[in-house]
Amino acid sequence: MRRYFGRKLLIYIFTFALAVTIDWLIPRFMPGNPIQILISRAALKAESAQLLYSYYMKAFGLNVPIWQQYLNFWKALFHGDFGVSIWLFPQPVLKIIVRALPYDVLLLLPSILASWFAGNKFGAYAARSKWLDSTISPIGYILTATPYMWLGMVLAWFFGIKLHLLPFSGAYSYAIMPSLSWTFVGSLLKHWILPFASLFLVMFGGWAIGMRNMIIYELEADYSHYLEALGAPRKLVRNYAFHNAILPQITGLALQLGAIVGGALVTEIVFSYPGIGYLILQAIQNHDYFLLQGCFLFIIIGVLLANFAIDIIYVLVDPRTRTGMQGEG
């Protein structure tokens, strides 16, 4: 088990280092100079622009050698210093992101867990049962092929505009202030339904299909045939198959997180939901590169933490990893 976690930890550390390096590298080696863009937006005279340029270079620490910049970047990171936002100028990037974080948790955690559980249940039922399979499987394939933002748009248009049932913009009504009152919580929930539903549906399709296919593989495995030959009840065989099929689904959850994050970003954009995805859009439109970098790092940290949690769950579920035999990668 120690070996298992040791390997995992090593991968996480490498991943984090690589992500930070990418985050540092991209702004510095891409064509186009962010600071130049910043200054040209201010439309100043040549001399004052020059002055401002050197000021910014110093302020952002770009006037020291490259390797020093890299070290400084890491140092600042461990001090929780993500720089200052350009879009919402004197506010630090960290503060802006932390403010957006609760909305991401509110949206992502329930939708990921609910779709995973529901998808696995339905997928397992669908495997090798004629009429369920012929309804769930096509729906699953359509859902998993749907672009997140398009499903969000269709839901917003249908339930928000055609039927006037649900709000489709923001996280709570613009008419009220965030507070711990029933009206606020109610408004929060109402605004949460549509983005949740569109994330849930797309993910559900993928899990259901994955589970269906895994169960079919397991039911074709020798142990299933052996159990059947012994005359074990159908339910028992399927139970064993489910236990074996759930393991790749757990691994799949860890591997899919990156893609899910991408889907959540565009869903938030469609619904103007004030999470990190919405921040990223603002950062891009306002050329706020520090905010963009900060969001990327936060997403990486979130994905790694989630991966770690999944690893722990995996050990609890799969006895092979505990006894030192190697289970799944």
- Rounded to an integer, what distance in angstroms lies between the CA atom of residue 314 and that of residue 309? 9
Among residues 70, 83, 107, which one has the least CA distance to residue 291? Answer: 83
**Binding-site member from 150, 185, 313, 324 for other proteins (CB under 8 A):** 150
Q: From the CB of 258, what's the least distance to other proteins, in Å?
A: 4
Instruction: Classify 92 as helix, strand or coil.
Output: strand
Strand partners of residue 84: 92
Closest CA to 149 of 141, 157, 159: 157
Contacts of 303 (CB under 8 A, 6+ apart): 257, 258, 261
> Is residue 73 part of the contact set for other proteins (CB under 8 A)?
no
**Residue from 44, 132, 281, 310 that binds other proteins (CB under 8 A)?**
281
- From residue 269, give the alpha-carbon distance in Å to each of 180, 245, 266: 26, 35, 5
Max CA separation in the chain (angstroms): 89
Between residues 106 and 283, which has the closer beta carbon with respect to other proteins? 283
Site string (80-119) toward other proteins, x via CB under 8 A: ----------------------------------------
What residues form DSSP beta bridges with 228? none
> Measured from the CB of residue 155, what is the shortest distance to other proteins in angstroms?
10
Length of the chain as a residue count:
329
User: What is the footprint of other proteins within residues 10-39 (CB under 8 A)?
Assistant: 10-11, 14-15, 18-19, 22-23, 26-27, 30-32, 34
**In the complex, which residues of this chain contact other proteins (CB under 8 A)?**
10-11, 14-15, 18-19, 22-23, 26-27, 30-32, 34, 138, 141-142, 144-151, 153-154, 156-157, 160-162, 168, 209, 213, 216, 220, 254-255, 257-259, 261-263, 265-266, 269-270, 280-281, 283-285, 289, 292-293, 295-296, 299-300, 303-304, 307, 329
